[in-house]
Amino acid sequence: MKLSKRTMHVLILCLVFGWASSGLAETKEDRKITNAIEVLNELSAIPEDAIPPSLLNNAYGVAIIPSLLKIGFIAGGRYGKGVLMVRTESNRWSNPSFIYIAGASFGYQIGAQSTDIVLVFKSKKSVDSITTGKITLGADVSVAAGPVGRLAGAGTDILLRSEIYSYSRNRGFFAGICLEGAVLNIDKGANVNFYKKTYITAAEIFDNKDLESPLLASKLRQCLIGYTRQQQQ
């Protein structure tokens, strides 16, 4: 069967655009970072009902886990993937390492619920425990539901009591949440996929200034930098 020139042109264009779109297809890691940026933008939108600026400005690390899924009947579980960023020696935010969180949940529950989680790490010690293995919140490192609002941590000693402060976001508002018993670990496969390196460690992602990173990683860093600068003013 012969094809007309017009039909041939259409087929060629479809192939060209098909190849182009496949090359630009968004990966799971891209979507996770895009969603993390959205969560940070929400922080800026509601400063009076968000994580205290004093807590974020003095944090060593910040983890953002969009859409943590909690599901079960009577006894269930929770699981989610996100990113972790730390302050470098030059006081800049590092490239993101992918992480995942998993744990059991108990009590009367039916169905599924999805929520955004933000973890604020006070010290290098708690982050190092993740990069060298895994940690269980509440067992290996202290975790507490974080204070909310601009003035929540300004004149209190609450910032001295835990290594990690945890927050959840529902319907645009942030609130402290208890995550004791949840396990945090590095998502090695996601790091390999995102940075296109056969073997890459979280430590290399955090410390290597010359690491070639995708544009989205830079956008996420700039978003976090912009938020902390805004809160310092």
**Domain assignment present for 32:** yes
**Domain assignment present for 149:** yes
How is residue 105 written in tokens? 């949940």
Number of separate domains in the chain: 1
Domain that holds residue 110: 27-232
**Domain assignment present for 21:** no
Question: What was the pLDDT predicted at 106?
Answer: 43
**Domain assignment present for 5:** no
**Domain assignment present for 16:** no
Q: How confident is the model at residue 156 (pLDDT cuts 50, 70, 90)?
A: very low
**Domain assignment present for 17:** no
How is residue 133 written in tokens? 């293995």
Name the DSSP letter for residue 159. G
Helical pair 215-232 and 28-45, crossing angle rounded to 10 deg: 10
Q: In angstroms, how far is CA 58 from the centroid of its own chain?
A: 18
Measured between alpha carbons, how far is 115 from 60 in angstroms, rounded to an integer? Answer: 24
**Domain assignment present for 216:** yes
**Domain assignment present for 158:** yes
Helical pair 188-195 and 28-45, crossing angle rounded to 10 deg: 100
Amino acid at 169: R
Mean pLDDT across 131-152 = 80
pLDDT exceeds cutoff 60 at 218: yes
**Backbone phi, psi, residue 149, to 5°:** 105, 155
CB contact burial 176-192 (16+ within 10 A = b; e otherwise) = ebebeebbbebbeebbe
Measured between alpha carbons, how far is 88 from 102 in angstroms, rounded to an integer? Answer: 27
Question: What was the pLDDT predicted at 232?
Answer: 55
How large a percentage of the chain has pLDDT more than 70?
69
Q: Is the pTM of this model over 0.95?
A: no
pLDDT tens for 48-80 read 667 777 788 889 999 999 987 665 544 556 788
